Amino acid sequence: MIKTKKQGLLIVLSGPSGSGKNTVCDEVKKNNKNIWESISMTSRKPRKGEIDGKSYYFVTEEEFKKNIEDDNMLEYAKFAGNYYGTPKKNIQKHLDNGEDVILVIEIQGALQIKQKISHALFVFLLPPSMKELKRRLIDRNTESSSKVMERFERAYKEINELSKYNYVIVNDNVKDAAKKLESIILAERCRVDRIEEVFLDTLEEKIHETLVDKDLENKPINLNKM
């Protein structure tokens, strides 16, 4: 008896580097075919195994700045010497098709989106401890020691932005963290403000409507016609 709005949810997932954002997002997508992940753009060089147009859109710093000037970015930030951001292209199309769109982005960019789209769903992913976060950053073996320490120190500042999010998930186990995110998305789909229409079409409801209709008060009720 409830018809919900076709528009999909815009989900913003962020957290410190090493919190496991991409891993959790990939796990959620495996179980939810209606979720489309937006591909971010970056000016940094591809890491081993990363694919242009799938992992990121890899561009030069000059190209990234040109996209900013042309208002092609929903959000962007400079982090560890490189630009990161979300192209506007295709996001609205997927939302209008009823797909949920997830953005895995840095905190600075997430707060930009919150100023523009307050009804988006903001989820903050935390590591189980700062010691574990440091271990994850080191084990990735993708950056120099100085870059790792820069990310680790930045994480302390980023955690202070936690109160600006709707939900927080501690990622001590990827599958458990993914289930929590799935539960949050499911709960958001059930919100009253996502109801487009309430309609009555069951036999019980039709009987009730007939009984309270004063014009039909003295007329017999034919259940076969309901």
Q: Determine what percent of the chain is predicted with pLDDT higher than 90.
A: 53
Identify any residues that bridge with 122 across adjacent strands, giving them in sequence order. Answer: 12
Handedness of CA 64, 97, 116, 17 (dihedral sign): negative
Distances (CA, A) of 119 to 167, 173, 188: 13, 28, 11
* C-alpha torsion sign, points 178, 180, 183, 187: negative
pLDDT top residue among 128 and 151: 128
- The answer to whether the beta carbons of residues 27 and 47 sit under 8 Å apart is no
**Residue 218 pLDDT > 70:** no
Give the tens place of pLDDT for each residue, 52-93: 998 899 999 999 999 999 999 999 988 878 999 999 988 989
pTM, two decimal places:
0.77
CA atoms 129, 184, 11, 165: torsion sign: negative
Bridge partners of 126, per DSSP, are: 170
Backbone Cα Rg of the chain: 23
Residues in the chain: 226
Partners of 36 in beta bridges: 101
Place of tokens 């919190």: 19
Burial readout 4-21 (b: 16 or more C-beta within 10 A, e: otherwise) = eeeebbbbbbbbbbbbbb
Dihedral angle, C-alpha 42, 46, 50, 51, nearest 10 °: 70
Tell me what pLDDT residue 1 has: 55
Phi, psi (rounded to 5 degrees) for 125 = -105, 125
Q: Is the pLDDT of residue 200 over 60?
A: no
Domains of the chain, first to last = 1-37+99-197 (3.40.50.300), 39-89 (3.30.63.10)
CA distances, 111 to each of 2, 48, 77, 136 (Å): 33, 30, 10, 25
